Structure 1
Amino acid sequence: MWIMEERNGIVTFAGNPVTLLGPEIKVGDKAPDFTVVDNSLKPVSLSDFDGVKLISVVPSLDTPVCDAQTRRFNEEAANLNATVLTISVDLPFAQKRWCGAAGIDRVITLSDYQSMSFGKAYGTYIKDLRLEARAIFVLNSENEVIYVEYVKEVTDHPNYEKAIQAVKEAK
């Protein structure tokens, strides 16, 4: 029987340490595949996206920091030669409603609610809460990881500038 790697104390949620399931992804790694669903419940995987990808991982779009993070990357996407994905465990219907209300039109929201495939593959699955930890991954066109940030405190913002710079330098 295969046992999922558990990583303790890597991040906190509201000051409390949580357990992440899955491996720590590092710069230079080949990006793991995953299967999530889009806003129409269609299965989507990494291979469905070409070119440079910025993957923004958030616990829930209906929280202030996740809202701000997704809005920020939506604004930045206009000047980036990359596909910007936001992954959360929000239901696809809620993601679609939120995007419509927030005017999000450049970020693709994807839901990991079914099997936590992304969270388990990228080490963002918070075992204690069944949510995603806040993280940023930038992949080049060969799906090599060129930037990673696991935000230490899930309720804090990521380093937007470093992630955006990594996308601009990607090939």
Structure 2
Amino acid sequence: MSQVTFQNNPVTLVGEEVRVGNVAPDFTVLANDLSPVTLADTKGKVRLISVVPSLDTGVCAEQTRRFNEEATALSDDVEVLTISVDLPFAQARWCGAEGIDAVQTLSDHKELSFGKAYGVVIEELRLLARSIFVVDKNDKVAYVEYVSEVTDHPNYEKAIEAVKEAV
């Protein structure tokens, strides 16, 4: 796996690196109402999974707002999921304050199930490393970006392009 840094300091990522062509690993995270959500819950759709350390930070907020805007122009065959370790209550409050309504925010705080399955748990911080995954309708990984510096933005254009190609 390529080296990832947080504020220019190397960090250790826990879990297996996911690659294009892999079958997307399953996971269990929590919706804002505390109900469990798995990859299978969106089966048959293209999934854009936007991973952020915390919605309460500048880049994470911008990333979530950007994909919320992009989601409104995408096909109904696309689900946009934002996963962080923020508590579900905080995610719901943040989405309400920001008017986020086209992206589903999900919390991996309980078991780090998603983070471990996709190799994005930052061991030193118990946060998720900024990353993007596009999973096609057949649960194959179509696009992966592990952002090398966690405080940087992902490549939005490439992610959206991968979603459109997978539809």
Q: Same fold (TM over 0.5)?
A: yes
Amino acid in the other structure paired with 1:40? D
1:133 to 125, 129, 134: 129
1:36 to 29, 36, 44: 29
Which moves more between the two structures, 59-68 or 41-50? 41-50
Within 5 Å, give how 1:40-51 maps onto structure 2: 40-50=33-43, 51=45
Matched residue, 1:4: none
The superposition leaves residues 68-112 of structure 1 with CA deviations (integer Å, 9 ceiling, x where unpaired) of 000000000011121000000000000000000000000000000
- 2:154 is aligned with 1:161: no
Matched residue, 1:59: 53
Q: Tell me the secondary structure at the aligned position of residue 10 of structure 1.
A: coil
Matched residue, 1:150: 146
Amino acid in the other structure paired with 2:20? V
Within 5 Å, give how 1:3-152 maps onto structure 2: 10-50=3-43, 51-81=45-75, 82-152=78-148
CA distance in 2, matches of 1:143, 1:56: 16
Amino acid in the other structure paired with 1:71? R
Q: Tell me the TM-score normalised to structure 1 length.
A: 0.94
The superposition leaves residues 102-147 of structure 1 with CA deviations (integer Å, 9 ceiling, x where unpaired) of 0000000000000000000000000000000000000100010000
**Structure 1: where are the runs of 5+ without partners?**
1-6
CA distance in 2, matches of 1:43, 1:78: 25
CA distance in 1, matches of 2:136, 2:26: 14
Q: Tell me the secondary structure at the aligned position of residue 90 of structure 2.
A: helix
**Structure 2: where are the runs of 5+ without partners?**
none
Amino acid in the other structure paired with 1:63? T
Percent of paired sites with the same residue: 68
CA distance in 1, matches of 2:19, 2:113: 18
Amino acid in the other structure paired with 1:29? N
Amino acid in the other structure paired with 1:12? T
Hey, which bits of structure 1, 4+ residues long, moved more than 4 A? none
Deviation at 1:63, TM superposition (A): 0.1
CA distance in 1, matches of 2:3, 2:15: 12
